[in-house]
């Protein structure tokens, strides 16, 4: 399968009639079928996609103006509510759920002429780092079929790397865009909390969930962000956006980057470290001022995350009670049995684990010791990040401590699995934007470099990432 | 028998009563969804959206009107809204609660403290008491479950799910059934006056839960019971009265009070136990991450303060100089809140200097206009200016003895019913036959006829039976179609009969 041209080139071609939207969609659907063995996709939205493409082509031939993403096919992680196929969040409890409305992110992409062609696999309810927690199947790493693609947006990342689409969208609650981007060699962008509306996205942890793009280049990711970003009356946590995220011309010279000390030490694979060090050296050569920055509370971030996230998960999953939508245990004799059987049969192991942890940390008697303390440390972490960003423009580190691990390697040890989020969760807890861009390989497996900026400095971060990309 | 013992025993125990009141806000849309809020008479599940259904991906968006109403409520209870407050999630599973949690407030409610000043109806000396409030929080209502008789299913109507409510929580400062009732009514008035809700008790838009505890030590609270879902002042009174009696009797017998939730049996006028054991719920509250905290600035708070109307306590103070009966004052205060287009107190206040006129207005409002409006028998005439014209016109005619008190009421009734606004009121009243005849010659003729037709009564009068004069005056009034000045008629009867 041939690589896709840049998103702007596809859209430009479709707008001028040189390319047909229908052909783009067909090419995408074929690529999906050709790479079926990687199991990146839960369902195609073929019929709707072709109809929308035909309509778009007709509008263009009628001389109507169309959007910036005209005719660009994309894949949405299956926790985005979208028309054209069921929205399952890769869970049995939502199997067969036909969304009655669409996510704002999807709506905005469609408004710009982009066409959703399929729904991608994920860890059920986005709970995981490998797609192995999908209630349906595990997606394979495009570089090595015995390895995981990362998660939870593993299907989205794989679909981009295997050229099924020019871009995909995912969600990042603790690293779920950046970690699979790192494992598969894609660019994965996690915007500032609130920059993209969460409306119509199956909630995981409301205070850290963000929506973002996965693409082959930073420029493409920025184009997608530009279409999705901004306030939404359906999500009161959304924030004001910059005028444009598409103009990325900026120089590296004089930029100050702090290398995060805590991420470069213990626990980091030495070959991965070598790649990161090389990237740092190249940035230095390009005129970037590199310094070391320490964030003392960072080692606590994972623990804090695994208290706050399950607390919110346990609450957000309460609505899946078998009464209004999704799976219902039909043979229940009374209400209590209907609740307990619908939920125990409908939810997978990881969802249940998180519901139990979350319920525990919120229960009276434990709230202060866990949830409240975690929030206190979270505030401390935010202060440390603020302080760091008063000295440097950006922070740098690896996205993950290792390259993609083997399928089944961590499934028996949830703690070990959780450790693969260790370098990504801090950006979620503090709400800052972060990006993972490919930075070399170790034994044929991609390494991801993570860059972070202060809240709402999304444009500057994308500019940095684009300039860095050009260095290697 | 029980009642007499109660009153004796009540002296021994101090009752501490706290009231939680749920009030539905009169916002156009729900608390977190752009869906109609008035479920009265609506088809089940016709006022719902993906938010009310708790669909995946649905996010609550706070209705700013509810915040404004909360700020108004704060001033109504003699405090200011909190500058910083936030929502929390309260978790439990029930089919009428689609998200599995209720969005409410706990740690940081929008109103803290404040008080309601009650003016007990039974005390004519105008003594008031301040019932302190613990808090007022904004929260969403749940839906409604119905269990059809004999069916093996239940039905859920989510029209009410997400309706904005205030939970107004008092301190246990109330000490009798009478005070509880008065407090409930005062809250009702405050809700109406501040424009927060329609307080439609009949439809359950305002409901009371009463917590009653008795103790022989005034410094300590006894074990309390909570009687839930009372939707009239009468039932608040009844439930408190019965709980005090019931608990007194138990304590007298040396038994313990069980902390429990009770219901009110309207027919039997009794509270009844609803749960055997009080379940220890763990609602796992935590701050609602989907809704940013509510932050109010001084400008907003001051703007609300300035827009507040005169409240009942202040009206009572202002009307005091008129020396009206308490029931008159209270009827006026209640009626003032019933129709926002019609003002009674405003008109009275404008004429407070002229005490007689002000009293006349109060009397006419209570006896004529308010009953007419409540029966919905008035025309569209609501403007203060037009109504002031009518009232002052009628008042002049009454003072000039051109209207009898009966004719005054009849004329006012007619004007309010028809909406007629005659340019010359006296001419109009005359044409319509309301002006009383004070011309002695005309009345003399009628008196002569009446005396002739009622010889027996006339004889009685002559022989000194004063009562019979009243009868003859009545006959004169009848014959004159109510127009004869009764004082003159009486004088002439006496003259003719030589007494």
pLDDT in tens, A337-394: 999 999 999 999 999 999 999 999 999 999 999 999 999 999 999 999 999 999 999 9
Q: Identify the pLDDT of residue B497.
A: 85
Three-class secondary structure of residue B429 per DSSP: helix
* Rounded average pLDDT over A9-25: 97
The ranges of chain B annotated as CATH 1.10.10.410 are: 440-497
- Nearest chain B residue to A205, by CA: B289
Q: Identify the pLDDT of residue B3.
A: 44
Percent of chain A with pLDDT over 70: 100
B15 pLDDT higher than 80? yes
C-beta atoms of A325 and B292 within 8 A: no
Contacts of B267 (CB under 8 A, 6+ apart): none
Find out whether A127 and A418 touch, Cβ atoms under 8 Å.
no
Tell me how far apart the alpha carbons of residues A388 and B480 are, in angstroms, rounded to a whole number: 99
C-beta atoms of A324 and B98 within 8 A: yes
Q: Of the candidates B472, B499, B473, B470, which has an alpha carbon nearest to the alpha carbon of residue B484? A: B473
- Distance between A224 CA and the closest CA of chain B, angstroms: 21
* Rounded average pLDDT over A441-449: 98
What rounded mean pLDDT belongs to chain B?
Answer: 90
C-beta atoms of B61 and A236 within 8 A: yes
Q: Identify the pLDDT of residue A265.
A: 86
CB-based contact (8 Å) between B420 and chain A?
A: no
Query: How is A213-226 classified by DSSP, letter by letter?
Result: EEESSHHHHHHHHH
Q: Identify the pLDDT of residue B11.
A: 57
Q: Identify the pLDDT of residue A36.
A: 98
CB-based contact (8 Å) between B153 and chain A?
A: no
Strands, E, within B297-398: which ranges?
none
B468 pLDDT higher than 90? no
pLDDT digits (tens, 9 = 90+) for B106-158: 999 999 999 999 976 555 556 789 999 999 999 999 999 999 999 988 999 99
Q: Of the candidates A439, A379, A434, A444, which has an alpha carbon nearest to the alpha carbon of residue A174? A: A434
Burial of B409 (0-12, 13-18, 19+ CB in 10 A): middle
Cβ neighbours of A362 in B, within 8 Å: 91, 284-286
Tell me how far apart the alpha carbons of residues A338 and A340 are, in angstroms, rounded to a whole number: 6
Three-class secondary structure of residue B484 per DSSP: strand
Q: Identify the pLDDT of residue B379.
A: 82
C-beta atoms of A81 and B56 within 8 A: yes
Tell me how far apart the alpha carbons of residues B402 and B405 are, in angstroms, rounded to a whole number: 10
Q: How confident is the model at residue B5 (pLDDT cuts 50, 70, 90)?
A: very low
Tell me how far apart the alpha carbons of residues B227 and B218 are, in angstroms, rounded to a whole number: 22
- Taking only residues 266 to 295 of chain B, the set having a beta carbon closer than 8 angstroms to any beta carbon of chain A reads 282, 284-286, 289-292
C-beta atoms of B56 and A319 within 8 A: yes
Of A89, A324, A362, the CB nearest to B286: A362
Q: Helices in B194-273 by DSSP H: which ranges?
A: 233-252
Of B60, B62, B282, the CB nearest to A364: B282
Q: Which of A77, A119, A219, A341 is flagged as catalytic? A: A77
pLDDT digits (tens, 9 = 90+) for A159-188: 999 999 999 999 999 999 999 999 999 999
First CA to last CA distance, chain B? 57
- Nearest chain A residue to B158, by CA: A324
C-beta atoms of A321 and B93 within 8 A: yes
A190 pLDDT higher than 50? yes
* Rounded average pLDDT over A44-71: 97
Cβ neighbours of B56 in A, within 8 Å: 81, 87, 89, 94, 97, 99, 202-203, 319, 325
Tell me how many residue pairs between chain A and chain B have CB atoms under 8 A apart: 95
Three-class secondary structure of residue B465 per DSSP: coil
Three-class secondary structure of residue B295 per DSSP: strand
More confident residue, B383 or A163: A163
User: Which range, of A105-109, B361-365, B375-379, averages the lowest pLDDT?
Assistant: B375-379
Cβ neighbours of B151 in A, within 8 Å: none
Strands B164-170 and B14-24: antiparallel
C-beta atoms of A101 and B61 within 8 A: no
Cβ neighbours of B63 in A, within 8 Å: none
Cβ neighbours of B284 in A, within 8 Å: 314-315, 359, 362-364, 367
* Rounded average pLDDT over A33-43: 98
Q: Identify the pLDDT of residue B382.
A: 74
Whether A294 is a known active-site residue: answer: no
Percent of chain A with pLDDT over 90: 95
CB-based contact (8 Å) between B106 and chain A?
A: no
Domain B440-497 has CATH 1.10.10.410: yes
Q: Identify the pLDDT of residue B442.
A: 82
- Distance between B225 CA and the closest CA of chain A, angstroms: 23
Tell me how far apart the alpha carbons of residues A452 and A433 are, in angstroms, rounded to a whole number: 6
Of B89, B101, B284, the CB nearest to A359: B284
- Nearest chain A residue to B89, by CA: A315
* Rounded average pLDDT over B383-396: 87
First CA to last CA distance, chain A? 24
H or E, element range at B272: strand B270-273
| Measured CA distances, B377 to A73, B371, B410 (Å) | 67, 9, 14
Q: Identify the pLDDT of residue B443.
A: 85
Backbone CA torsion sign across A269, A270, A275, A281: positive
H or E, element range at B372: helix B370-374
C-beta atoms of A97 and B286 within 8 A: no
Q: Of the candidates A135, A69, A152, A157, which has an alpha carbon nearest to the alpha carbon of residue A105? A: A69
pLDDT digits (tens, 9 = 90+) for A225-253: 999 999 999 999 999 999 999 989 989 99
**Number of domains making up chain A:** 1
C-beta atoms of A315 and B101 within 8 A: yes
A1 pLDDT higher than 70? no
- Distance between A213 CA and the closest CA of chain B, angstroms: 18
Angle at A106 between CA A103 and CA A111, to 5 degrees: 125
Of B58, B60, B284, the CB nearest to A362: B284
Q: Which of A152, A182, A420, A436 is flagged as catalytic? A: A152
Residues present in chain A in total: 472
Interface test with B, best of A307, A319, A356, A378 (most B CBs within 10 A): A319
Strands, E, within A336-444: which ranges?
394-398, 434-442
Count of C-beta atoms within a 10 Å radius of residue A245: 24
H or E, element range at A76: strand A73-77
- Distance between A266 CA and the closest CA of chain B, angstroms: 34
B104 pLDDT higher than 80? yes
Q: Identify the pLDDT of residue B125.
A: 59
Percent of chain B with pLDDT over 90: 64
H or E, element range at A349: helix A349-362
User: Which range, of A267-281, A293-307, B185-199, B475-489, averages the lowest pLDDT?
Assistant: B475-489
- Distance between B164 CA and the closest CA of chain A, angstroms: 18
Count of C-beta atoms within a 10 Å radius of residue A300: 16
C-beta atoms of A315 and B55 within 8 A: no
C-beta atoms of B58 and A199 within 8 A: yes
- Nearest chain B residue to A125, by CA: B56
C-beta atoms of B54 and A359 within 8 A: no
User: Which range, of A35-44, B254-263, B460-469, averages the lowest pLDDT?
Assistant: B460-469
Q: Identify the pLDDT of residue B278.
A: 53
Residue-number span of the structural domain to which A79 is assigned = 1-472
Q: What are the residues of chain A with a beta carbon less than 8 Å away from any beta carbon of chain B? A: 81, 87, 89, 94, 97, 99-101, 103, 198-203, 205-207, 233-237, 311-312, 314-315, 318-319, 321, 323-325, 335, 339, 359, 362-364, 367, 371
C-beta atoms of B100 and A89 within 8 A: no
pLDDT digits (tens, 9 = 90+) for B416-440: 998 888 888 888 888 888 887 777 8
- Distance between B99 CA and the closest CA of chain A, angstroms: 4
Q: Helices in B138-176 by DSSP H: which ranges?
A: none
Whether A152 is a known active-site residue: answer: yes
Helices B312-319, B177-193: inter-axial angle, 10-degree rounding: 100
User: Which range, of A74-83, A99-108, A437-446, B474-483, averages the lowest pLDDT?
Assistant: B474-483
Whether A20 is a known active-site residue: answer: no
* Rounded average pLDDT over A416-422: 87
Cβ neighbours of A89 in B, within 8 Å: 56
C-beta atoms of B286 and A89 within 8 A: no
Q: Identify the pLDDT of residue B124.
A: 53
CATH code: domain of residue A184: 3.90.1300.10
Cβ neighbours of A376 in B, within 8 Å: none
- Distance between B37 CA and the closest CA of chain A, angstroms: 18
Buried b / exposed e along B330-368 (16+ C-beta atoms within 10 A)? bbbbbbbbeeeebbbbebbeebeeeeebbbbbbbbbbeb
C-beta atoms of A237 and B292 within 8 A: yes
Burial of B107 (0-12, 13-18, 19+ CB in 10 A): exposed
- Distance between B191 CA and the closest CA of chain A, angstroms: 28
Burial of B436 (0-12, 13-18, 19+ CB in 10 A): buried
Q: Which of A28, A176, A297, A338 is flagged as catalytic? A: A176
More confident residue, B462 or A451: A451
C-beta atoms of B284 and A233 within 8 A: no
What rounded mean pLDDT belongs to chain A?
Answer: 97
Tell me how far apart the alpha carbons of residues B91 and A315 are, in angstroms, rounded to a whole number: 7
Tell me how far apart the alpha carbons of residues A209 and B57 are, in angstroms, rounded to a whole number: 11
Q: Identify the pLDDT of residue A233.
A: 97
Three-class secondary structure of residue A436 per DSSP: strand
| Measured CA distances, A111 to A20, A71, A198 (Å) | 18, 11, 17
């Amino acid at each position: 399968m041939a690589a896709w041209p840049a998103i702007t080139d596809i859209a430009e071609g479709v707008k001028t009639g040189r390319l047909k939207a229908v052909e783009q969609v067909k090419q995408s659907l074929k690529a999906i079928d050709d790479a079926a063995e990687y199991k990146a996709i839960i369902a195609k939205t073929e019929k709707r996609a072709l109809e929308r493409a035909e309509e778009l082509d007709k509008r263009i031939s009628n001389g109507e103006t169309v959007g910036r993403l005209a005719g660009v096919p994309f894949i949405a992680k299956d926790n985005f509510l979208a028309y054209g196929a069921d929205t399952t969040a890769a869970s049995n409890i939502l199997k067969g759920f036909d969304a009655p409305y669409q996510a704002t992110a999807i709506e905005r992409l469609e408004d710009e002429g982009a066409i959703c062609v399929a729904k991608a696999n994920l860890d059920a309810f986005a709970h995981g780092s490998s797609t192995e927690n999908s209630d349906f199947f595990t997606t394979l790493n495009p570089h090595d079929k015995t390895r995981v693609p990362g998660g939870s947006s593993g299907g989205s990342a794989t679909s981009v790397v295997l050229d099924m689409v020019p871009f995909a969208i995912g969600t990042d609650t603790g690293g779920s865009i950046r970690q699979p981007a790192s494992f598969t060699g894609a660019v994965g962008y996690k915007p500032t909390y609130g920059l993209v509306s969460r409306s119509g996205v199956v909630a995981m942890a409301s205070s850290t969930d963000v929506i973002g793009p996965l693409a082959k280049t930073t420029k493409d990711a920025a184009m997608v962000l530009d279409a999705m970003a901004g306030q939404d009356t359906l999500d009161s946590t959304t924030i004001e956006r910059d005028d444009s995220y598409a103009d990325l011309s900026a120089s590296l010279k004089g930029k100050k980057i702090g290398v995060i000390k805590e991420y470069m030490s213990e626990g980091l694979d030495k070959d991965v470290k070598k790649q990161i060090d090389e990237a740092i050296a190249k940035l230095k050569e390009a005129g970037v001022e590199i310094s070391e920055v320490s964030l003392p509370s960072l080692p606590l971030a994972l623990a804090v995350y695994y208290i706050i996230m399950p607390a919110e998960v346990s609450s957000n999953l309460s609505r899946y009670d078998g009464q209004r939508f999704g799976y219902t245990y039909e043979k229940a004799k009374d209400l209590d049995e209907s609740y307990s059987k619908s939920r125990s049969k409908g939810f997978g192991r990881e969802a249940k684990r998180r519901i139990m942890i979350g319920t525990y940390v919120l229960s009276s008697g434990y709230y202060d010791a866990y949830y409240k303390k975690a929030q206190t440390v979270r505030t401390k972490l935010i202060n440390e990040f603020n302080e760091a960003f008063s000295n440097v423009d950006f922070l740098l580190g690896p996205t993950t401590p290792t390259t993609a691990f083997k399928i089944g390697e961590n499934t028996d040890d949830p703690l070990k699995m959780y450790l693969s989020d260790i370098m990504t969760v801090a950006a979620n807890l503090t709400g800052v934007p972060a990006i993972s861009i490919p930075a070399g390989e170790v034994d044929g497996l991609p390494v991801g470099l993570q860059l972070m900026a202060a809240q709402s400095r999304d444009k500057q971060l994308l500019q940095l990432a684009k300039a860095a990309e050009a260095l290697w | 028998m029980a009642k007499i013992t109660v009153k004796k025993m009540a002296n021994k125990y101090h009752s501490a009563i706290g009231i939680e009141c749920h009030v539905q806000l009169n916002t156009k849309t729900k608390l977190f969804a752009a869906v109609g809020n008035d479920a009265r008479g609506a088809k089940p599940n016709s006022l719902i959206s993906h938010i009310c259904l708790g669909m995946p991906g649905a996010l609550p968006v706070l209705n700013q009107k509810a915040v404004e109403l909360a700020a108004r409520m704060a001033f109504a209870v003699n405090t200011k809204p909190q500058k910083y407050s936030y929502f929390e999630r309260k978790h439990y599973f029930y089919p009428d609660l689609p998200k599995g949690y209720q969005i409410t407030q706990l740690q940081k409610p929008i109103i803290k403290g404040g008080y309601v000043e009650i003016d007990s109806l039974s005390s004519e000396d105008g003594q008031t008491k301040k019932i302190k409030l613990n808090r007022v929080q904004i929260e969403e209502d749940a839906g409604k479950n119905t269990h059809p008789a004999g069916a093996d299913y239940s039905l859920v109507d989510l029209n009410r799910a997400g309706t904005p409510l205030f939970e107004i929580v008092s301190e246990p400062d109330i000490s009798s059934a009478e005070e509880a009732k008065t407090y409930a009514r005062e809250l009702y008035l405050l809700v109406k006056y501040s424009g927060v809700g329609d307080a439609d008790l009949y439809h359950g838009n305002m409901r009371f839960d009463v917590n009653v505890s008795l103790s022989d030590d005034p410094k300590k609270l006894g074990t309390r019971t909570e009687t839930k879902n009372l939707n009239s002042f009468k039932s608040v009174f009844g439930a408190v009265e019965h709980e005090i009696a019931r608990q007194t009797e138990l304590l007298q017998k040396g038994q313990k009070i069980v902390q429990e939730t009770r219901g009110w049996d309207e027919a039997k006028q009794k509270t009844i136990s609803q749960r055997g054991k009080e379940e220890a719920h763990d609602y796992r509250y935590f701050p609602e991450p989907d809704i940013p905290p509510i932050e109010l600035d001084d400008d907003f708070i001051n703007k609300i303060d300035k827009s507040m109307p005169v409240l009942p306590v202040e009206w009572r103070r202002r009307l005091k100089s008129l020396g009206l009966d308490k029931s008159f004052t209270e009827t006026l205060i209640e009626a003032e809140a019933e129709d926002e287009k019609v003002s009674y107190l405003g008109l009275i206040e404008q004429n407070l200097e002229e005490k007689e006129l002000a009293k006349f207005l109060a009397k006419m409002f209570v006896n004529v206009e308010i009953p007419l409006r409540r029966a919905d028998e008035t025309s569209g005439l609501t403007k203060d200016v037009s109504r002031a014209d009518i009232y002052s016109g009628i008042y002049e005619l009454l003072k000039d003895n051109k209207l009898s008190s009966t004719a005054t009421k009849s004329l006012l009734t007619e004007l309010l019913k028809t909406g007629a606004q005659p340019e010359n009121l006296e001419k109009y009243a005359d044409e319509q036959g309301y002006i009383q005849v004070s011309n002695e010659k005309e009345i003399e003729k009628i008196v002569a006829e009446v005396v002739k037709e009622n010889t027996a009564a006339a004889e009685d009068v002559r022989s000194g039976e004063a009562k019979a004069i009243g009868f003859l005056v009545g006959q004169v009034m009848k014959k004159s179609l109510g127009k004869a000045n009764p004082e003159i008629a009486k004088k002439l009867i006496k003259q003719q009969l030589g007494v």
